[in-house]
Amino acid sequence: MMARNPGLISRRSLLKMLGVGGAAVLVAACQPKEVEGSVEEEVATKSGQAPVPAAEEVKTIRYLGGFGQSWEDFYNTEVLPKFYDLHPNYKVEMTLIGSWPDLYNKIVTSTAGGMPPEVTRQKDFFTPDFIVRGLQQELDEYVAAKAPHIAEDQYVPHAWSNMHWSGKLVALPLLIFNHYPHFNIELYKKAGLVDSDGAPVAPDTWEDVREQANKLKDPSNNVYGTFLRDEGGKEDTVNFFHVWLAQAGGRLIDEEFSRFMFNTPEGLDALTFWVDLIKDGAMKPPGVSIEGIIPQGHVGMWWHASSYWVAYRRDNPDFEWSTAINPMRKTRGAIVRGDHHALFRQSKERDAGFDFLAFHQTPEITLAYGKNQMMIMPRYDVMSDAFYKEPYMGVPGAVYSVEFEQLEQPGNQPQPIFPGYQESSYKIGAQLILACMQEISPEQALDQAEKEANDVLASARRLLGVD
Amino acid sequence: MDINHRNGTVPRRLVGRIKGMVFRSHLMHSMIFAVALLGALVFIIPFAWTVTTSLKPDAQVMIFPPKWIPSPIQWRNYYDALVRLPFDRFFLNTAIVTLTSLVGDVIVNAVVAYGFARMDFPGREPLFYVLLATMMLPSQVTMIPVFIIFRKLGWIDTFYPLIVPSYFGNAFYIFLLRQFFRTIPDDLEHAARIDGANQARILWSVILPLSGPAIATVAVFSFMFHWQDFFRPLIYINSTHLRTISLGLQLFKTGYGGTVYNQMMAATVVCTLPSLILFFATQRYFISGIVMTGMKN
Amino acid sequence: MNSRTMRRFQGYLFISPWLIGLVGLTLGPMLLSLYYSFNEYDLFQPAKFIGLGNYNTMFFNDRLFWISMRNTAIYTMGRVPIVMGSSLVVALLLNQPIPFRNFLRTAYYLPSVVPAVAMYIIWVWLFEPQVGLVNYFLSLLGISGPLWLGSIKWAMPALIGMSIWGIGGTMVIFLAGLQGVPEHLYEAAELDGASAMQRLLHITLPMVSSVVFFNLIMTIIHSFQVFGQAYVMTSGGPAYATLTIVLYIYEQAFNWFRMGYGSGLAWVLFAVLSAFTAFIFRSSTPWVYYESGGRA
């Protein structure tokens, strides 16, 4: 018998491949348990304990939804060791995610796949889409049984009401925030927009915003007066638009969540204001990417909450900024929003998941989270902590009191939560971006956005029998 | 004399051509070479750019005009990128999925292809045409129900949806192997059959040892496909500890400014290396394998 | 059953894994998805039959469906000529006796070996408007490059343009085909005084037409199914400029739980693609030459 190509793939190598494949299958079958054991040991050792022998079955709590190393470090050093002290047979597995739309997508695919994580961090407006499909666990009974520290009088009213749907508690408040103006002190000095103490003069009205943005812009140095908080054309773009809509005296949606209400003179006012700023070159147009736009000094005025401060100081140790409450159009309103913690009904270790959430809501951990993530937490006992009374790391004008002051503005509106928010915000956001790129007029954008968003809303309400 | 070029014997052809055209084609060939070289440079430059970016210190990443040689070279980027996210885990996962799928792809498709190539059964030709037709089926039309099936089986967030289909045949590999098997002369099989061997034994003892190039080709294609598969892990894998390297790489591309390009490029380099190494080690099979699919249609 | 019949059906035993897969992973799911396409189904409530409702919405009340089909068509019509043209040209060039030919072939093939997501990320970096290589080279030519992936006008051209990097696979197939052209045809033509261009047009191209046909079909099918590029590089943006049909199907099914609508979209894609393929098959007879003298 002739072998034409001896040795190229002999039966021996075929057997070898089979062997490798078989070994791989064995390894695959064994892997997860191995890893669980080692990570648990590692964490236990970190917190100074000897590894606990798995006398009880190890319950794994999968936590979906974090960004970046610092977030994971925070949990590994400040939260999990204490949690494992209380529950030695628990293990928390953190899943990082790249962006909020990715997170939403991951929640959908994992619940669609019947294998949801135990716990997620999510934006408040994610919740209805999942709760009306019965995916999130209602928490009233759990709280009554195990978590007395989670009670209505402990929380800011907006936060507490947003945790509820149809009268039931469906999520736990993780943090709250609102967007308010920040100013680059150096650029303000350069533009001569400072007072006698050298502090930036906050714009009092939208006209001031326009004037200042135009004075701050410096095209030759790639400096803009301000920029769109989010250009993705998805939910964050709409969230930012909502802030300006509130100041213009408008509403996003009606109280019954039956139709959108942004296609009004107020909405047009807000969108046109943006578009005019872009036309003047005072607001950075969408698509132009500028790395380090804020800490590297490419923008004079911008909007968001305190959570970004730590990143600025890290990226530019000399960076200095100050803050103020929103300028006045018809109101100085902002949208009070927050993130939630949600528990998934079909998850494997649901009870353990709730224990983790309840632990997270204790004043001690809530304060630790707030300090580490530079966020205001919605619990009264935490908000009154001395931490929030201090200015931030010597930065003149970076003080939490401004965010608290903004929280009390009469023009504020709570983040509306209703099924279909995510999808309709994609439609609205796309039109807003098109208007900002001057592909269509603001009127056209709002008309088209309203039509498409109402369609989404109608189909959400119909399918889920919300009506 | 008819010079056969099927196996691309370069030296003889080169000599023949030059002998025939040396008096007027030196210039043309130089031009062709120059153009081809220029194009090749264009193809290689993105690689070079990726590597240099991966070694840049943070401050030098976003400067314009771009610097080609970073100074100092920041090797730390590799450590940061691969430790930030548990890439060792991702590599292991991808290796597990790829190798087990590869075994399935090779074994099962060889058996099926042999059935189509050498065994006569009623309905063989129509079934083969069905096979050819499925080669052109867009996967999206089965994607949703297959997801729902795997969901019913409780296989979401496991490796099973990624591996098990490889044990049920792949039209492209079956086609490739079948075409190759048919080029093996009948007499070997007849001889074996006279010696009393059954079909399975013939496949094992006669066909397979001679099918080195085809099997290797399937193995290489299978490896390449599963190593960088993105879509299926995207819908089936949720937990971090089960992610493959494609999902891991995607995590670098966040939606927000502040993408850490140097680390991202470092991770890309490391993730590309296995494919590159495999390619260089098995170059012959790549070219010959694609030849087999391209020629025999 | 006697042994003769057994031997006749033994073939089925050998092909059984594929047969099972055909039913369980291909035909069965196809029928299921057709069924779902006539329903509203979000996985958590029972499927609700709505007849042609999904198709009605798709064709008459869904702007994004048309946008995604249009984007996919643009992508295909841009990518196919680029890939076919350049890979043929490169294969022709690399078929000539030039020095370092194997090195050059490797160089052109190398990018197709790179994992897909890695390639997308590399090109995101190359297209970076401020410091990416593409705009840098343009600036050397005095052109101020656009925002590429951040621009509504240029995002799709960017995705199409980068296809040129991945022509390795098609190029090699063309190479194989070129090498299969019998040398004696060229020699005879030369003796008759044919120029290089005439040899190209009248010998080379006709002889490789079957390879061209194969590559054309495969490239069109792959282009229609573009997903990863759009998902990773632009998420379908900005403002739907790069929303392709498969990305849209993915979004409908795996973002909004619309399994029924997603299935309907998939079937429409399948129908369009089949029609296209059938058309090309039918129109291929005049220009495709098979050595065996007929269809495989």
Backbone angles phi, psi at A118, to 5 degrees: -70, -45
Name the least confident of A198-207, A245-254, B22-31, C261-270.
B22-31
Cα–Cα distance for residue pair A456/A450, rounded to 1 Å:
10
Give me the pLDDT at residue B12, please.
Answer: 66
Instruction: Tell me which residue has tokens 């939403």.
Output: A104
pLDDT at position C290, please? Answer: 64
Domain membership of residue B24 (yes or no) is yes
Q: β-strands A164-165, A168-169: how paired?
A: antiparallel
Neighbours of chain A (3+ CB pairs under 8 A): B, C
Average pLDDT over residues A168-173: 92
Instruction: Give the tens place of pLDDT for each residue, A391-405.
Output: 888 888 888 999 999
Q: pLDDT higher for A361 or B217? A: A361
Please state, in angstroms and rounded to a whole number, the distance separating the CA atoms of residues B89 and B93. Answer: 6
Q: What is the mean pLDDT of residues A255-268?
A: 94
The pLDDT of residue B200: 77
- Average pLDDT score over residue span A183-187: 95
Residue A216, pLDDT score: 95
| Domain membership flag for residue C183 | yes
Question: How does pLDDT run across A329-365, given as a tens digit for each residue?
Answer: 999 999 998 899 999 999 989 999 999 999 999 999 9
B103 and B23 inside one domain? no
Q: Report pLDDT digits (tens) over B240-262.
A: 889 999 998 887 776 544 577 88
Are residues C130 and A433, on separate chains, in Cβ contact within 8 Å? Answer: no
**What's the pLDDT at A23?**
52
Same domain, residue pair B231 and B108: yes
Q: Would you say how long chain C is, in residues?
A: 296
Q: Give the model confidence (pLDDT) of B144-198 as tens digits.
A: 999 999 999 999 989 999 999 999 999 989 988 888 888 888 888 788 878 877 7
Q: How many Å apart are CA A200 and CA A185, to the nearest integer?
A: 6
- For residue B169, what are its two tokens? 């045949």
- Write down the mean pLDDT value for chain A: 85
Residues B17, B128 within the same domain: no
Q: How confident is the model at residue B3 (pLDDT cuts 50, 70, 90)?
A: very low
pLDDT at A276 (0 to 100): 96
Residue B228: give its domain's CATH number.
Answer: 1.10.3720.10
Look at residue B184 in the predicted model and tell me its pLDDT: 81
DSSP state letters, A33-91: HHHHHHHHHHHHHHTTPPPPP--SPPEEEEEEEE-HHHHHHHIIIIIHHHHHHH-TTEE
In a domain? residue B284 = yes
Residue B167 belongs to a domain:
yes
C-alpha–C-alpha distance, residues A280 and B213, integer Å: 65
Q: What pLDDT, on a 0 to 100 scale, did the predictor assign at position A262? A: 95
Residue numbers of chain C with a pLDDT score lower than 70: 1-2, 289-296
Query: B242 CA to chain C: closest CA distance, Å?
Result: 17
Amino acid letter, A60: T
Question: Of A77, A93, A74, A101, whose CA–CA distance to A32 is shortest?
Answer: A93
Amino acid, single-letter form, for residue A198: G
What confidence category does residue A40 fall into, taking pLDDT thresholds of 50, 70 and 90?
very low
Rounded to whole angstroms, how far apart are CA atoms A212 and A226?
Answer: 9
In-domain check, residue C39: no
Select from A386, A462, A381, A460 the least CA-distant residue to A420: A460
Q: State which residues form the domain around B18.
A: 10-54
- Domain of C214, in residue numbers: 55-282
Over residues A273-294, the mean pLDDT reads 89
CATH number belonging to the domain at A180-336+404-463, selected among 3.40.50.300, 3.40.190.10, 3.80.30.20, 1.10.3720.10: 3.40.190.10
Q: What is the CATH number of domain A39-176+339-383?
A: 3.40.190.10
Q: Do B272 and B214 reside in the same domain of the chain?
A: yes
Task: Check CB contact under 8 Å for C10 and B199.
Answer: yes
Chain B partners (3+ C-beta pairs within 8 A): A, C
**Residue C132 domain-assigned (yes or no):** yes
Residue A376's DSSP bridge partners are A176
Q: Residue A233 in contact with residue A429, Cβ under 8 Å?
A: yes
Which pTM does this prediction carry?
A: 0.87
Q: Give the mean pLDDT of A44-60.
A: 56
Tell whether A115 lies on the interface with B, counting CB pairs under 8 A. Answer: yes
Contact residues for B202 (Cβ-Cβ < 8 A; gap 6+): B118, B189, B192, B193
User: Is C148 part of any domain?
Assistant: yes
Please tell me the total count of domains within chain C.
Answer: 1
Give B-chain residues touching A100 at CB under 8 angstroms.
Answer: 255
Residue B208 covered by a domain: yes
**Res A167 pLDDT > 80:** yes
| B85 and B48 within one domain | no
CA distance B16 to chain C (A): 10
Tokens describing residue A120 = 């997620």
* The predicted structure's pLDDT at residue C22: 94
Q: Are strands A321-323 and A90-96 parallel, antiparallel or unpaired?
A: unpaired
Residue A388: name the closest of A406, A402, A401, A373 by CA: A401
Of the partner residues C43, C44, C130, the one whose CB lies closest to the CB of residue A289 = C130
Domain regions of chain A by residue span:
39-176+339-383, 180-336+404-463
* CATH number of residue C232's parent domain: 1.10.3720.10
pLDDT of amino acid A466: 65
Domain assignment present for B64: no
Residue of C nearest to A129 (CA): C256
Residue B280 domain-assigned (yes or no): yes
**DSSP symbols for B195-222:** TT--HHHHIIIIIHHHTHHHHHHHHHHH
Query: In this predicted structure, what is the pLDDT of residue B205?
Result: 77
A289 touches chain C (CB under 8 A): yes
- Identify the CA nearest to C245 among candidates B134, A126, B143: B143
CA distance B83 to chain C (A): 18
List pLDDT tens digits, range B19-53. 656 655 677 778 888 888 888 888 889 988 899 88
Q: Which residue has the higher pLDDT, B8 or A404?
A: A404
Mean pLDDT value across residues B117-143 = 88
Number of domains in chain B: 2
Instruction: Report the distance separating Cα A237 and Cα C238, nearest Å.
Output: 12
pLDDT 10s digits, A66-114: 777 778 888 999 999 999 999 999 999 888 787 888 899 999 998 988 8
Task: Answer whether C257 sits within 8 Å of A108, measured CB to CB.
Answer: yes
Look at residue C219 and tell me if it is in a domain. yes
Average pLDDT for chain B = 82
Per the model's pLDDT, the better-predicted residue between B72 and B127 turns out to be B127
Inter-chain CB pairs, A–C, below 8 Å: 65
pLDDT of the residue at B25? 66
Task: Look at residue A422 in the predicted model and tell me its pLDDT.
Answer: 93
Q: Does A453 touch chain C (CB under 8 A)?
A: no
Query: Given a cut of 70, is residue A429 above it in pLDDT?
Result: yes
* Model ipTM value: 0.86
The pLDDT assigned to B291 comes to 59
Residue keyed to tokens 């069109």: C220
All residues of chain C having their beta carbon less than 8 Å from the beta carbon of residue A450 are none
- B100: nearest CB among A2, A5, A28: A28
Residues from chain C contacting residue A434 (CB–CB below 8 Å): 152, 239
Q: How far is A94 from chain B, CA to nearest CA, in Å?
A: 8
CA distance A331 to A320: 28
* pLDDT tens track for A285-308: 888 877 778 988 999 999 988 888
Mean pLDDT of A144-151: 90
The Cα–Cα gap between B142 and A181 comes to 50
Q: Mark whether B147 and B290 lie in a shared domain.
A: yes
C238 within a domain of the structure (yes/no): yes
Q: Does B204 map to a domain?
A: yes
Q: Is the pLDDT of residue A10 over 90?
A: no
Contact A291 B258 (CB under 8 A): yes
Helix (H, G, I), strand (E, B) or coil at A363: helix
CB contact under 8 A, B264 and C253: no
Interface of A with B in 280-309 (CB under 8 A): 289-293
**C257 with A112: Cβ contact below 8 A:** yes
